[in-house]
Amino acid sequence: MTHDPVIDALLDTLAANPDNHPVRLHVAQLLLDAGRSAEALTHAITVLAAEPDNITALRLAAAAARAEGDETKAVSYTRLADALDSPPPMRAPAVPDTADELFQQWTDTEAVAEFGSIGAAGVTLADVGGLEDVKKRLHLSFLSPLRNPELRLRFGKSLRGGLLLWGPPGCGKTLVARALAGELGASFYEIGLSDVLDMWIGSSERNLRAIFDVARRNRPCLLFFDEMDALGQKRSHLRGGGSAMRGVVNQMLAELDGASTDNEGVFVLAASNHPWDIDSALLRPGRFDRTVFVPPPDPAAREAILGFHLRGKPTERLNLAKIAKATEGLSGADLALLCEQSTETAMEQSMTSGKIQPINQQHLENAARTVRPSIGDWLETARNYALYGNESGTYDELAAYLKKRRR
């Protein structure tokens, strides 16, 4: 079996984040294209176990099953996909009636995003519960200089470069990035790993260039890259077939430097669970030179997360502050699971009794005792870097958090 460096990189990402279904589907398509249909079918079925109505997964499963010679399964998957896939009626494109409308159509500067998703942020930092230290860092290093141009020029404060949000998985890095876009009044353009990487040589670099072009044509725009440790991994770790990934890192450096392009009005942010795996060239001045540690949610943030996930559901009067105090070390994703388990318990009781049984304090407390922190392995790895790899002070925020956590 031949090994494709892009597929291998995506599989490594899935090993760290198995619930990333868009990446898993992208891997399945690449495996199918590479003739590894049995593996592709396994990945498609994994997604369907969590999302039975995922049309893309159904079509991939059908194609993989057909490639494996199982026509019965292929027909079943196709029939279900066809039943779910009912496209809206096509509308004819609007025809300009006047010369002014035609000119406007020609000179419209907005670009449709072929990769990722772009739109209004919809939230600001005021909507993010807790994380006051993170908000303070963002204001000092990013927002305040932007909002005070005269003072910035007087002190020679540059706005070149990007911002890297890092920390354990499931702790709100994407939400913070979206809220920052809201503070800036900019569009939020979110890019995942599968939006950039492609199995064909040179295609990943072209995808990355196209993404930056879309951001420049939609400015002000906050361009957000998730999983930067996989997209911009250290070139020294890329051997043999890793030359394709080297090209992606080099293209990212060229786009950030903006030597031949104008990045004015484009704010570049990235998120990473493993910043120690990012190529050091990406962290130099003018690139991702500002870093902010996003820790597991503090009590205020945990209370806000619980309230968000219970919003709109039938509940009794709840003491969420008590639950927040009892869930130290849980990530935002863990707290979402806690609320989901409480909801399932209340639904089961409602079905048994024949009437609505609202979510109560006991449901939440019982769930809090069963949900275990999912970031334990991450903390163990991060602790080693804070203790033994922090000569430059890169992980001072992490070291301070770990020290505070031991108290």
**pLDDT tens digit string along 260-304?**
567 777 889 999 999 998 888 888 877 888 889 999 998 989 999
Residue identified by tokens 């009590």 is 299
Check whether 358 has a pLDDT greater than 70. yes
The pLDDT of residue 103:
44
The pLDDT of residue 237:
64
- What are the start and end residues of each CATH 1.10.8.60 domain in the chain? 299-370
- How much is the pTM? 0.67
Query: Distance between CA atoms of 259 and 235, rounded to whole angstroms?
Result: 22
CATH fit for domain 5-84, picks 1.25.40.10, 1.10.287.110, 2.60.120.10, 3.60.21.10: 1.25.40.10
Check whether 175 has a pLDDT greater than 60. yes
pLDDT tens by residue, 115-126: 778 888 888 988
Check whether 227 has a pLDDT greater than 60. yes
CATH fit for domain 299-370, picks 3.40.640.10, 3.40.228.10, 1.10.10.10, 1.10.8.60: 1.10.8.60
Check whether 311 has a pLDDT greater than 80. yes
43: burial class by Cβ within 10 Å (0-12, 13-18, 19+)? buried
Check whether 224 has a pLDDT greater than 90. yes
The pLDDT of residue 92:
47
Architecture of domain 112-293: 3-Layer(aba) Sandwich (3.40)
- What are the start and end residues of each CATH 1.25.40.10 domain in the chain? 5-84
CB count within 10 Å of CB 282 equals 22
324: burial class by Cβ within 10 Å (0-12, 13-18, 19+)? buried
- What are the start and end residues of each CATH 3.40.50.300 domain in the chain? 112-293
Query: Distance between CA atoms of 65 and 63, rounded to whole angstroms?
Result: 6
